[in-house]
Amino acid sequence: MNNHDIDFKLYGDDMQFVEVELDPQETVIAEAGSLMMMEDGIRMETIFGDGSGSQSGLMGKLFSAGKRLITGESLFMTAFTNEAYDKKHVAFAAPYPGKIVPMDLSEHDGKIICQKDAFLAAAKGVSVGIEFQRKIGTGFFGGEGFIMQKLEGDGLAFIHAGGTIQKRELAPGETLRVDTGCLVAMTRTVDYDIEFVKGIKTALFGGEGLFFATLRGPGAVWVQSLPFSRLASRVFAAMPQFGGSRDEGSIAKGLFDLFDGD
């Protein structure tokens, strides 16, 4: 096994965090800004690249960092290494309400494809790269974008998504149509494409998006009930200065009236 073999425990329900237990000299990598807390004896280090530690030379590190930049992520990741002589713990928090899902990549043929902002943390040795969708329709209309992340290795990785997450096992040839924003992750054997919603009235007035993500088995698919984009749009629409109601009968309305001079 090339990856560090870490132990973990999940806490919470809707606002979860994951606590990772590190043996001496074990390391976990995480997205910048995801740290919640860590015990004394853990060294925090900023690393340049995809987190796998397998890049050789300056050009290899620049290439791996450039792949992360394309997905909209930071050029840097953070590594947490236990330099003490006994077990230590470090915790990472979910960025918004939802669930954290542990993924043992060795159980999924060494690769998981996920939406670009799903990755939270992983054992050192897991590579966080990019996955280009082969079909042009996916690129233009894929909702979450032409580029998705891929997690490769044989260790544990943790992904996060909004609301409730359901895992669906697709049989060979079985098709599942998902709102493009609700797709969280899938195994490498799933065929992924974009399908236009049939019927102009449905497309324009149905209240849903114009496109579905069409997933064909075999393989596993993870779907989320509350994409962050949907949550953000509802919050934005409810803000009074952007057309939301001011007659909510709430503390928020009172504060609005106070600062508005009413």
**Domain 7-240 indexed as CATH 3.40.190.10:** no
pLDDT at 96: 85
Q: What is the pLDDT of residue 60?
A: 47
Residue 34, CB-side half-sphere exposure with 13 Å CA sphere: 35
Say how far apart CA 17 and CA 132 lie, in whole Å: 30
Average pLDDT, consecutive stretches of 10 residues, N- to C-terminus, the chain (262 residues): 80 91 94 91 81 50 49 70 95 91 92 88 88 56 61 92 92 91 91 71 50 88 85 73 52 52 50
| pLDDT of amino acid 16 | 92
Q: Tokens 């987190």 — which residue?
A: 51
Whole-number pLDDT of residue 224: 92
What confidence score (pLDDT) does residue 97 get? 87
First to last CA, the chain: 66
Q: Can you give the pLDDT at residue 203?
A: 47
Question: Full-prediction pTM beyond 0.85?
Answer: no
State which amino acid sits at residue 79: A
Delimit the domains of the chain by residue range: 7-240
Residue 253 contacts residue 247 (beta carbons within 8 Å): yes
**Residue 146 confidence (pLDDT):** 56
